[in-house]
Chains A and B, each alone.
Chain A
């Protein structure tokens, strides 16, 4: 069976939307980070698919994907470090308790 581009793009879009949904509804910060990771990976899939199916003569999309993966790793590392810091001072990583700064 031939795999069409749409069969990869639609799951990527669903993944992105799941990420947005998770970012908004999850309470645990680690779960929020996982949702963010879903969004970033959907972007990576998009780039790879567009590169492979639509513009196969240059490798720009693939290279962007490689760099995006590295950047996502850096973002996650930093976010985890900040969350650990928060845990040390608040003993809790539930976003509902992040309510000291508000209107």
Chain B
């Protein structure tokens, strides 16, 4: 509960600052909100260190939190702070002057909605959290009012978001008809007692489809590339990292706590097919992209497939590996988006062909981008390798032959993904053409954001204390008990 209250306090302070401070003080608003959110994140970590992050309930059991849930929220918080840090110079520009505050307020509200999604133990609170997380995001996608692309992306996002939540709620209504309650615990008890009807399979399929839209799993991914390309770069990085991470965690909570008893009967095979499709299609479409934001959109689709491996494993190792994977993914993807944002702001270029010879004009940016690509592809000394290693280990621990085949397919896809990640590196380092982007100096906030993310990419894999910390949190069995 403390983290939600902390976030609400940050939101109110930003709101009051935006409303009552004079116009010229608005320039400082991005820095103020970043620092405030950083303080809230630090407070969350302090409660871990002091051991005060305990299991509590609120609203008659509709809301529950536990040490694992607090750690998940802290991970999301770190990502949000980095996104805010990278957005400072974008939102500091003059055309943002009147709307600057709204961007930060909307972003904090969506983060609050994601907290509710992860902590909800009742479908009503979950749906409110889901809408609270996805509706303000649509407004954020439409933020760049001067550009037509932003509007087109926003229309595509809001229509698919509403469609997916309608499908999701239809699924819940079937579950309610079968179980007679909307509390996760009561539904779990009712479903494990009764027999499985066709209606239940349909309900699970609807719920998975609804969440699949949020996570952009194939075949529910068609909005992803367009929205990522049209949205302002800061919003794209937020969508691809924080929004996806929160959706993955809440998906795990629903599947474990509501449909946990149906694992091998109903949803193991649905998820199995979705993972294969997601990883493969995401990879194959990423190869033919030329726009960097579109390219990262397809890369993030296939990464979502790897994240789902942690759910498919459905054991302790899977959960902890998934948390670690998302932490690493936050750092590597935000490093890539940091470079893209800096180059877009300085020169307005987002095509892969514009990155030719970047190592000659901007060696540090090219180096950061290269490390991010190496980490996303999973090349050994970097964090991405360890996160993939742990998630494969978790899946293999599940033990069935089908999972071995799945992991093999995922491994082959890792090699395919190496090809297109290295295309970027090739353009930056090996291409003999004249550099397109001239030398420029990025702003201090962008450099700070890149230092943090690149440092994370290099250290998170080697510093085993991070993984040990996450793994120790998960040392409770069975899986359904983590979130209580």
Contact = CB atoms under 8 A, between A and B. Distances in A.
Asked if A and B are interacting partners, one says yes
Interface of A: 16, 19, 23, 29, 32-33, 36, 39-40, 42-43, 46-47, 50-51, 54-55, 58, 60-61, 63-64, 67-68, 71, 74-75, 78-79, 81-83, 85-86, 89-90, 98, 100-103
B145 A85 contact: yes
A36 B162 contact: yes
Contact of A75 (B155, B162, B176): B162
A32 B151 contact: no
A60 B180 CA distance: 9
A60 B148 contact: no
A101 B229 contact: yes
A46 B177 contact: yes
A16 B206 CA distance: 13
28 contacts: A16-B170, A36-B166, A39-B166, A39-B167, A43-B173, A46-B173, A46-B177, A47-B176, A55-B176, A55-B180, A55-B181, A58-B181, A64-B123, A71-B165, A74-B131, A74-B135, A75-B135, A75-B158, A75-B161, A78-B138, A79-B158, A82-B138, A82-B155, A90-B148, A98-B156, A101-B156, A101-B229, A102-B226
A90 B151 contact: yes
B105 to A, nearest CB: 15
Interface in B127-178: 127-128, 131, 135, 138-139, 142, 145, 148-149, 151-156, 158-159, 161-163, 165-167, 169-170, 172-174, 176-177
Contacts of A61: 176
Contact of B124 (A58, A63, A75, A78): A63
A55 B162 CA distance: 28
- Determine the main DSSP class of B at the interface with A: helix
B331 to A, nearest CB: 28
Contacts of A19: 166
A29 B174 CA distance: 29
A98 B152 contact: yes
A67 to B, nearest CB: 6
A100 B227 CA distance: 12
Most A CB atoms within 10 A — which of B127, B148, B174, B176?
B176
B176 A60 contact: yes
B166 A82 contact: no
- Determine the main DSSP class of A at the interface with B: helix
Contacts of B173: 43, 46-47, 50
Contacts of A89: 148, 151
A60 B149 contact: no
Contact of B163 (A23, A86, A101, A103): A23
B256 interface: no
Most A CB atoms within 10 A — which of B135, B161, B162, B230?
B162
A103 B226 CA distance: 9
B129 to A, nearest CB: 11
B170 A46 contact: yes
A36 B139 contact: no
Most B CB atoms within 10 A — which of A55, A61, A71?
A71
Contacts of A32: 159
B149 A100 contact: yes
A101 B151 contact: no
A42 B285 CA distance: 36
A42 B170 contact: yes
B124 A64 contact: yes
A85 B142 contact: yes
Contacts of B285: 103
A47 B123 CA distance: 12
A36 B159 contact: yes
B180 A40 contact: no
B72 interface: no
B127 A71 contact: yes
Nearest first, the 4 closest Cβ-Cβ pairs linking A and B are A46-B173, A39-B166, A50-B177, A55-B180
Given A43-B170, A89-B151, A82 B158 contact: yes
Most A CB atoms within 10 A — which of B123, B128, B152, B230?
B152
Contacts of B170: 16, 39, 42-43, 46
Contacts of B177: 46, 50, 54
B182 interface: yes
Contact of A86 (B138, B151, B176, B180): B151
Contacts of B161: 75
Contact of A50 (B149, B166, B176): B176
